[in-house]
């Protein structure tokens, strides 16, 4: 029997939610600005590198660039610049050992950061997640009346769904109005009135009616619906992003039959685990938070799996801007999952063969089922390498 850490290090992961990376060389300030959810260190001093994620970067990323673990950050950034951004991205993304990447194109660090570019760097097939609000905002900026708005958005969504590689839609209601949304599908008069408000001052969609309606419109296409929950930058009010606030809406969406995937969830990840247990069509991840907590990643994963069935948990990095994020998430996730399962086997709480099977579900098979991706390892490039997590 192969030990679980080796087995899981060799499994190719489906990263079911991430973003592109920046193409230019980053100085210390630029790197720190992308490292955490803060815009940068405060004016009163202190470095964002002196944090759980900063320590994790210094532990796991320097070896990928041929440096010893724990290299000081300035020497690390000098090596990063010396290698060049393309090579750095390629090393981190290949090193993440990915079977596929699903890229949210509604929030890209720069126009070149396409799903295809990320997939090429990762040596894995790439897919696209369409952001509902971005699409609606594009329609709002075009000529059209409030009464035509819903039809125009539905038409644009249907076109997007037919584009090759589009596998899901996503809502960022959390960022705009929070998640305390009514459960019913809005009626057409309500939608026309809300569209009228948006068209009067076209900008960002930030309207309870429109966010709800967009989620139902996405579900009508039969595509899985990703919903941002919990942790994010300070554009959101975190106390309004508890996924439990979605309970009514999850009841409303359930009859559509589409998978609803709750993203990130921290610090409400236990709440999300509960929802994944009681709603047959609800899936969860702890992307973003998992690598931001560094060595605490195992605790987070264990807390999600207190209630969430193994068949309902997905892997994502939510990597954005820095390819270190995509890499670090993979390393810390593998360490967390193998630690948790190895402990269960050691305590005779789980058989080794079950642990191996459950790991396969979370590493990729759940995502393949949710998004209808081809079965099994898809990239000969990404598969055979084992990720160094020790």
CA distance 248 to 57: 39
* C-alpha to C-alpha distance for 49 and 35, rounded to whole angstroms: 8
Tell me how far apart the alpha carbons of residues 259 and 281 are, in angstroms, rounded to a whole number: 5
Omega before 267 within 30 of 0, i.e. cis = yes
Q: What is the DSSP string of 105-162?
A: TTS-SSTT--HHHHHHHHTS-EEEEEEHHHHHHHHHTSS--HHHHHHHHHHHHHHHHH
- In the complex, what is the shortest distance from the CB of residue 107 to Zn ion, in angstroms, rounded to a whole number? 6
Stretch 24-63 residues interacting with Zn ion (CB under 5 A): none
Distance CA 304, CA 366 (A): 15
Nearer to Zn ion, 230 or 294 (CB): 230
For residue 261, give every residue at least 6 positions away whose Cβ sits within 8 Å of its Cβ, in sequence order, or none: 16, 17, 168, 224, 225, 226, 227, 282, 283, 284, 285, 314, 370
For Zn ion, give the closer residue by CB, 133 or 318: 318
Site string for Zn ion, 10-29 (x = CB under 5 A): --------------------
Residues that bind Zn ion (rule: CB under 5 A) add up to a total of 2
What is the closest distance, in whole angstroms, from the C-beta atom of residue 232 to Zn ion in the complex?
8
**242 CB-side CA count, 13 A:** 11
Tell me the residue number closest to Zn ion, measured at CB.
318
Considering the complex, state which of residue 71 and residue 105 has its C-beta at the smaller distance from Zn ion: 105
Residue in this structure with the two tokens 């008069």, named with its chain if needed: 189
Smaller CB distance to Zn ion: residue 62 or 230? 230
Q: Among the candidate windows 102-110, 245-253, 306-314, 367-375, which touches Zn ion by CB under 5 A? A: 102-110
The DSSP H or E segment spanning 348 is none
Using the minimum distance from each CB to Zn ion, give the nearer residue, 230 or 339.
230
| Complex with Zn ion: residue 185 or 228, whichever CB lies closer | 228
Q: Which of the stretches 104-112, 129-137, 236-244, 345-353 binds Zn ion when contact is defined by CB under 5 A?
A: 104-112
* Residue 92 beta carbon to Zn ion: minimum distance, rounded to whole angstroms: 17
To Zn ion, the closest distance from the beta carbon of 249 in angstroms equals 20
The least CB distance from residue 285 to Zn ion, in Å, is 11
Nearer of residues 80 and 228 to Zn ion, judged by Cβ:
228
Detail the DSSP E strand segments found in the chain: 13-18, 98-104, 126-131, 166-171, 225-229, 260-264, 282-284
Contact 336, 64 (CB under 8 A): no
285: contact with Zn ion by CB under 5 A: no
**Which of 99-107, 144-152, 271-279, 303-311 is the region at the interface with Zn ion (rule: CB under 5 A)?**
99-107
Closer Cβ to Zn ion, 74 or 110, answer by number = 110
From residue 291 to residue 330, what is the string marking binding to Zn ion with x (rule CB under 5 A)? ---------------------------x------------
- Closest by Cα among 83, 84, 94, 59 to 73: 59
Smallest gap from residue 104 Cβ to Zn ion (A): 5
Burial of 237 (0-12, 13-18, 19+ CB in 10 A): exposed
Question: Least Å distance between CB 300 and Zn ion?
Answer: 17
Please report, as ranges, the residues that interact with Zn ion according to CB under 5 A: 104, 318
């Amino acid at each position: 029997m192969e030990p679980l850490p080796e087995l899981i290090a060799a499994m190719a992961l489906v990263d079911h939610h991430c973003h592109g990376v920046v193409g230019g060389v980053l100085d210390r300030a630029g790197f720190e600005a992308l490292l955490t959810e803060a815009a940068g260190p405060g004016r009163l001093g202190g470095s964002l590198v002196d944090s759980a994620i900063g320590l994790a970067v210094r532990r796991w990323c320097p070896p990928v660039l041929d440096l010893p673990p724990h290299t000081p950050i300035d020497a690390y950034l000098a090596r990063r610049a010396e290698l060049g951004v393309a090579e750095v991205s390629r090393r981190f993304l290949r090193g993440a050992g990915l079977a596929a990447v699903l890229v949210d194109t509604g929030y890209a660090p720069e126009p070149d950061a396409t799903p295809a570019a990320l997939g090429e760097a990762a040596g894995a097939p790439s897919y696209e997640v369409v952001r509902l609000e971005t699409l609606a905002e594009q329609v709002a900026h075009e000529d059209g009346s409030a009464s035509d708005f819903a039809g125009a958005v539905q038409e644009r969504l249907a076109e997007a769904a037919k584009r090759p590689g589009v596998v899901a839609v996503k809502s960022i209601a959390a960022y705009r109005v929070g998640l305390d949304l009514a459960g019913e599908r809005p009626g057409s008069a309500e939608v026309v009135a809300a569209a009228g408000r948006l068209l009067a001052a076209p900008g960002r969609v930030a309207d309870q009616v429109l966010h709800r309606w967009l989620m139902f419109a996405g579900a009508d296409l039969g595509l899985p619906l990703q919903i941002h929950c919990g942790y994010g930058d300070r554009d959101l009010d975190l106390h309004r992003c508890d996924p439990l606030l979605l309970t009514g809406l999850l009841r409303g969406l359930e009859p559509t039959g589409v998978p609803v995937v709750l993203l990130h969830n921290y610090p409400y990840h236990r709440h999300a685990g509960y929802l994944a247990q009681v709603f047959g069509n609800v899936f969860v991840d702890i992307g973003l938070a998992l690598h931001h907590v560094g060595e605490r990643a195992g605790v987070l994963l264990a807390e999600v799996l207190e209630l969430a069935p193994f068949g309902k948990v997905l892997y994502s990095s939510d990597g954005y801007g820095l390819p270190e994020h995509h890499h670090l998430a993979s390393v810390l996730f593998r360490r967390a999952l193998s630690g948790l399962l190895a402990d269960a086997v050691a305590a005779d709480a789980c058989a080794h063969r079950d642990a191996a099977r459950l790991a396969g579900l979370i590493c990729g098979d759940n995502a393949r089922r949710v998004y209808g991706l081809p079965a099994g390892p898809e990239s000969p490039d990404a598969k055979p390498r084992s990720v160094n997590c020790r």
